[in-house]
Amino acid sequence: MIVNASAGIECDYCGTFAIYPLMLNEVLKCNSCDKKWGTVPVDLSLENPCIICACERFYKRKDFNQILGLVILLTGIILSIIYSYFILMGFVLLDVLLYQLVPDAGICYKCSAEFRGIENIDKLNHFDHHTAELYQYAVENK
């Protein structure tokens, strides 16, 4: 069964990053080294632990290259110096619009796997440093 969900995973074994479609009840494994991470649960949800590392905490992040937003803004600023402030406002508006249109991705605190198209992503909290330190500390001392 195919759902409209995917996960961006960096393999903890060979370091290859790829986007994988999440197919319910199928084994998720690395494209390049065949390392198996686990079976996608039928009740796929971010309220369940991470498929990859079993970590239970996720945060949400806008699912687009954040550099893109910055580039748009910088281009706007430069253009506005040359032309007028109206252009800057236009670009800021575009940026805001992009931000609204782009969906959130759910990111695992521990293994940084990026989950998309799964329910409840909007219920997640934004990135929290203390939580991140907690889980990254746990990784380092594994």
Q: Which residues bind Zn ion (CB under 5 A)?
A: 11, 13-14, 30, 33, 35, 50, 52-53, 55, 108, 110-111, 113
Burial class (CB in 10 A: 0-12, 13-18, 19+), 81: exposed
- The runs of H, that is alpha helices, within the chain are 66-82, 85-101, 129-140
Comparison of 44 and 53: residue with beta carbon closer to Zn ion: 53
Phi, psi of 115 (to 5 degrees): -105, 135
What's the N-to-C CA distance of the chain in angstroms? 35
Q: Rounded to the nearest whole angstrom, what is the least distance from the CB of residue 48 to Zn ion in the complex?
A: 11
Q: Rounded to the nearest whole angstrom, what is the least distance from the CB of residue 67 to Zn ion in the complex?
A: 24
Comparison of 88 and 108: residue with beta carbon closer to Zn ion: 108
Q: Rounded to the nearest whole angstrom, what is the least distance from the CB of residue 27 to Zn ion in the complex?
A: 14
Comparison of 16 and 65: residue with beta carbon closer to Zn ion: 16
CA quadruple 140, 63, 18, 115: dihedral, nearest 10: 70
Q: Rounded to the nearest whole angstrom, what is the least distance from the CB of residue 138 to Zn ion in the complex?
A: 11
Give the neighbor-by-neighbor strand order of the sheet with 125-126.
17-23, 2-10, 114-116, 104-108, 58-62, 125-126
Comparison of 55 and 77: residue with beta carbon closer to Zn ion: 55
